[in-house]
Structures are given as structure tokens and as C-alpha cells.
């Protein structure tokens, strides 16, 4: 497929040529590209009559539905950026985002759980009327170039969320890389599982739409019900899978999740957290002919900036999987502990520079100045990720700079401990967290573990066996002091392991 020049115009061009192609399939309820264009054009026309300030973003509240996608497109066709907020978000978060983003209006696809004061809200029948007004707009009003396209709010260290501004050019750089380098089939049929407030969803939405494919929504009420999930997955005809590795771990618990029952599934794209060797190997056994891509990237650099195909050779060569090569338009370099550029092969904080790097955090100049700067005429971002780049340009992820702890004077990288936990034959899934003493120093390293089926008579015997096994691969000081055995690990709404809730429980 040729490079996309404008995301919105590309989707519209498909709607004009092939209005009957299915753009969105919500558990059998199908909506076409023609409907997508009609809804988004009419909504954009309505927004343009509201007299909003030119750069005011628009909050969009709802779940994984066609109306949400039509609203996103309607907002950007009116020249504004959208701020997606998932309906499962706490009400307090909605209020905080409203205060920080200072939006021009809110479009509520689902019922709002809070009163947003004087903010104009388009909802219910009025929203339906706006969708069905049969109005047209011209590309003159569309978001383009360095205009903000979407603003996704991520967690802030102080508890206040930060709004990452992603421009049309940022999105364009990512979309062209994904469709050009990850081997998507023509008119992909793509799983859409992450909430739209999580930027992993961008990996399934926009590459699929610009290629005239079909988005297959699997909403939260399905993913929360394993029986329903495994009944539905084989009926979707998916050929592209996008998810976090944690969601894949859940799917691999089902013996029929394999190529025999999902024969069309030919591409797996993972992002959002580390893909373990154990998960990749298990998936390769289930889908031996499929291509599996491990991708990496922070929200601040638009979803993903590097990728590697996980082949049998890669699995043989590496115990901890690399995160691949940077996309061609992106530069990466390493800073040492003193903030100076490190030599090739050194481990340190990864800095990314290029056209997919965000301009910064919305209405937050202080946090923007801490993390972003200009480098050789391009925007650059300090990721906070510990990475090594080898002589060939391959990136190796070694954890977070803020996930390092010191225990008894030793520096321990928690994600390295997690790597060994999750690759231990006695452990199905595990996470290590610090327990703090009264002086706020780390007193213990505690592992929460979902064990594999075993024949040990007691948890004490199992703990001893796991510790002995871990000592074969890691320094003794980094082996967790205490093990807590659980049936499952908590997950965030985005499908990642909820480390914060485990830390809170350990330190309660």
C-alpha cells in the first residue's frame, strides 16, 4: 500500500469508493465506511456551528462502539483534537481531566457519571440528531500537520494525569510505519480490545481504517467473562491481533486458542508492556505459521517506535526478548547516569527523537520541560526506560529508571526480577514489588505469584523450590525474600498487571 498523506482523507476516500465495506463490527452489529463518513461529516458540521476556540480539545466519553469512532473522526474533521475517556474510568479522573484539558465541549456517547458544570455537553438524542443531519464538510476544516489529533491522558507520578498531545503528523508517522513494516494483510480484520483511552487502541484503529479493513470490537463485558470471550473469538474471522502480552496470557489459558480454531489469524502485534519469552514461545506453538511482532514505544512517541519479528531463531538466541529496531525516521540514543550521551553498548535512559515525538503535555509546561527538548531540529523525549542499543541498532529493554530499588545497598531492577519470575517453570505469572520499612527504605522484596500446577505438599516447600530455581539464573540478593501465592494478578483497565495495587497491598 502507498504511503498515507492524510489519515482523515484516506479514510474518507475509502468511504467514497467502497461505502458498503464494513468498517466496524460490534459483536455482529456492523457499520460501513459510508455510515462512518456520513456520521462524522454531520457531527463535524454541528461542532463547527458551536463557536469553539480554535485550539480547544473536545472530550469524548464512552466505550468501544461505532459511535465513539464516528465521534473521533467528527471531532478531527471539525479541526479539534479529541480526548478519549473510557466509560470505566473513575468519576474523579473525568473531573481532573476536565480541569486540566480545559475542553471546548464534551460529547457523551454514554451517560456521564459526573456533572461537568458549565461545559457544553452533546449527548443522547441531540447527539443522534447531529449524527443523522446529513451534512457535509470540506477538508479545509480537518486537523492536519502539527495540529493536535488526539490527547491521551496517562498516569502522573503525583496522581494528576498528564495529557499527551499527539498531532496529525505524529499519527501519520506511526501509521505509515505500521502498515509498511509489520506486514498487515490487505483490508485487515483486526481485534479491537484495549479501551480507546489507552493508546494501544491506536495500533488497531487507524492502520485498519486507512487500509479499508474491519475493526472487530471485543468490549470489556466480553473480556471479563472468559466463557463468553472464548465463545466469541473463533467467530470473528480475525487475521490481525493487537493486545498487551497480559491479555494474551489470559487467552493462552484456553486450550482451543490455537490455529485450528482461529485459522485466519496470521499477525500478532504486542505493545504496552514487556513480551516475555514464555508467552511468545507458547503462542508460537499454538500458531506456528503466524508472524509475531514485539513492539515498543511510549505514549509520548505515538504508540510504538520499534519492532522485531519473534521467530524461532530469536527465541533460541535470547532469553529476554529484544524490542527491535527503531523505525527509519526515528533516532534513539542513551544517556548515562550523569545525563551525558553514552557510548554504543552502554545501558542507560533511552531518548527518542523524530516526527512521532509529541510536542508535550497539554497545559503542563513544567512536566513538558522535564521530559521534552529539541535535538538537531527535531522534538526529543526522555523515556525513563533503561535500554541498551547494540552495534547493529537492536534495542534491549532493561526496565524503568523509576522501577529501580536499592535493597541492602544493592541496586535491583524490578523488571529484571519479573522477567525471571515469569520464565520460571514453577510460575505461571508473577510480579515483584518493594515492601518499605518505617524509614521509607526498602526492607523486603515481595513476589506475588500465580504458581503452575505442582505436587508440593505445602507453600513453604514450593517457596524453597522457586527460590532455588531462581538462584540458578539471578544474583541471590535479587531473589524475592517473601512469596505470596495468589490465583490471579490484578490488572488495570488497560490490560496491564496493576503493579500499584500490589505495592499498596504489600505495604498496607
Q: Please enumerate, by residue number, every residue annotated as part of a binding site for ATP.
A: 154-155, 294-299, 385, 397-400, 496
Cβ 368 vs Cβ 361: under 8 Å: yes
DSSP code of residue 341 = B
Q: Which residues are annotated as a binding site for D-alanine?
A: 199, 303, 496
The continuous run of DSSP H or E covering 200 comes out as helix 200-210
449: Cβ contacts below 8 Å, ≥ 6 apart: 421, 427, 429, 430, 466, 483, 484, 485, 486
Detail the DSSP E strand segments found in 69-181: 82-86, 105-108, 121-123, 148-154, 162-167
- Tell me the torsion sign for CA atoms 99, 102, 105, 110: negative
SS3 labels along 446-462:
EEEEEECCCCCCCHHHH
Name the DSSP letter for residue 3: P
Q: Which of 372, 340, 375 is nearest to 359 (CA)?
A: 372
Cα separation, 265 vs 258, in Å, equals 9
Distance CA 157, CA 155 (A): 7
- Residues at the annotated binding site? 154-155, 199, 294-299, 303, 385, 397-400, 496
Q: Which three cell numbers stand for residue 352?
A: 527518542
Q: Which helix (H) or strand (E) holds 279?
A: helix 277-286
Please give the grid coordinates belonging to residue 177: 510505519
- Contact indicator for 161, 362 with CB cutoff of 8 Å: no
**Helix, strand, coil percentages in the chain from 3-state DSSP, rounded to 5:** 35, 25, 40
Q: What are phi and psi of 309, to 5 degrees?
A: -80, 130
Sign of the Cα torsion 377, 383, 386, 387 reads negative
Calculate the alpha carbon distances from 174 to 4, 109, 179, 323, 437 in Å.
11, 27, 9, 16, 44
Amino acid at each position: 500500500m502507498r504511503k498515507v498523506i492524510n489519515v482523515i482523507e484516506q479514510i474518507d476516500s475509502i468511504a467514497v469508493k467502497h461505502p458498503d465495506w464494513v468498517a466496524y463490527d460490534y459483536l455482529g452489529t456492523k457499520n460501513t465506511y459510508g455510515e462512518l463518513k456520513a456520521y462524522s461529516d454531520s457531527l463535524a458540521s454541528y461542532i463547527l456551528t458551536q463557536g469553539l476556540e480554535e485550539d480547544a480539545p473536545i472530550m469524548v466519553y464512552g466505550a468501544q462502539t461505532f459511535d465513539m469512532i464516528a465521534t473521533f473522526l467528527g471531532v478531527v474533521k471539525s479541526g479539534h483534537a479529541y480526548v478519549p475517556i473510557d466509560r470505566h474510568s473513575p468519576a474523579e479522573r473525568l473531573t481532573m481531566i476536565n480541569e486540566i484539558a480545559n475542553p471546548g465541549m464534551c460529547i457523551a456517547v454514554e451517560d456521564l457519571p459526573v456533572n461537568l458544570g458549565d461545559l457544553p455537553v452533546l449527548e443522547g438524542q441531540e447527539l443522534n440528531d447531529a449524527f443523522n443531519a446529513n451534512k457535509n464538510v470540506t477538508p479545509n476544516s480537518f486537523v492536519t500537520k502539527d495540529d493536535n489529533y488526539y490527547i491521551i491522558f496517562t498516569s502522573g507520578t503525583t496522581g494528576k494525569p498528564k495529557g499527551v498531545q499527539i498531532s496529525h503528523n505524529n499519527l501519520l508517522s506511526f501509521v505509515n510505519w505500521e502498515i509498511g513494516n509489520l506486514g498487515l494483510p490487505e483490508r485487515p480484520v483486526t481485534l479491537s480490545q484495549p479501551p480507546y483511552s489507552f493508546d494501544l487502541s491506536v495500533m488497531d484503529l487507524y492502520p485498519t481504517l486507512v487500509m479499508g479493513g474491519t475493526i472487530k470490537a471485543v468490549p470489556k463485558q466480553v473480556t471479563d467473562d472468559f466463557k463468553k470471550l472464548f465463545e466469541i473469538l473463533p467467530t470473528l474471522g480475525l487475521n490481525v491481533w493487537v493486545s498487551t502480552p497480559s491479555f494474551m496470557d489470559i487467552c493462552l489459558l484456553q486450550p482451543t486458542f490455537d490455529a485450528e480454531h482461529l485459522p485466519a489469524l496470521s499477525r500478532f502485534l504486542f505493545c504496552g508492556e514487556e513480551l516475555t519469552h514464555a508467552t511468545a514461545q507458547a503462542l508460537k506453538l499454538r500458531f506456528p505459521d503466524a508472524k509475531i511482532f514485539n513492539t515498543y514505544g511510549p505514549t509520548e512517541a505515538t504508540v510504538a517506535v520499534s519492532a522485531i519479528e519473534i521467530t524461532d531463531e530469536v527465541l533460541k538466541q535470547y532469553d529476554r526478548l529484544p524490542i527491535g529496531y527503531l523505525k527509519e525516521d526515528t533516532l534513539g540514543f542513551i544517556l548515562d547516569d550523569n545525563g551525558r550521551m553514552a557510548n554504543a553498548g552502554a545501558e542507560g535512559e533511552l531518548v527518542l527523537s523524530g516526527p512521532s515525538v509529541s510536542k508535550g503535555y497539554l497545559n503542563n509546561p513544567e512536566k513538558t520541560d522535564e521530559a521534552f527538548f529539541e535535538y538537531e531540529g527535531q522534538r526529543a523525549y526522555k523515556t525513563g526506560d533503561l535500554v541498551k542499543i547494540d552495534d547493529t541498532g537492536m534495542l534491549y529493554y532493561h526496565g524503568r529508571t523509576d522501577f529501580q530499588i536499592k535493597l541492602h545497598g544493592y541496586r535491583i531492577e524490578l523488571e529484571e526480577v519479573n522477567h525471571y519470575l515469569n520464565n520460571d517453570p514453577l510460575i505461571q505469572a508473577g510480579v515483584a514489588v518493594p515492601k518499605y520499612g518505617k524509614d521509607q527504605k526498602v526492607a523486603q522484596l515481595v513476589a506475588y505469584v500465580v504458581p503452575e500446577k505442582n505436587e508440593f505438599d505445602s507453600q513453604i516447600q514450593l517457596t524453597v523450590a522457586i527460590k532455588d530455581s531462581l538462584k540458578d539464573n539471578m544474583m541471590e540478593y535479587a531473589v524475592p525474600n517473601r512469596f505470596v501465592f495468589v490465583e490471579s494478578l490484578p490488572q488495570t483497565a488497560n490490560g496491564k498487571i496493576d503493579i500499584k495495587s500490589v505495592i499498596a497491598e504489600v505495604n498496607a
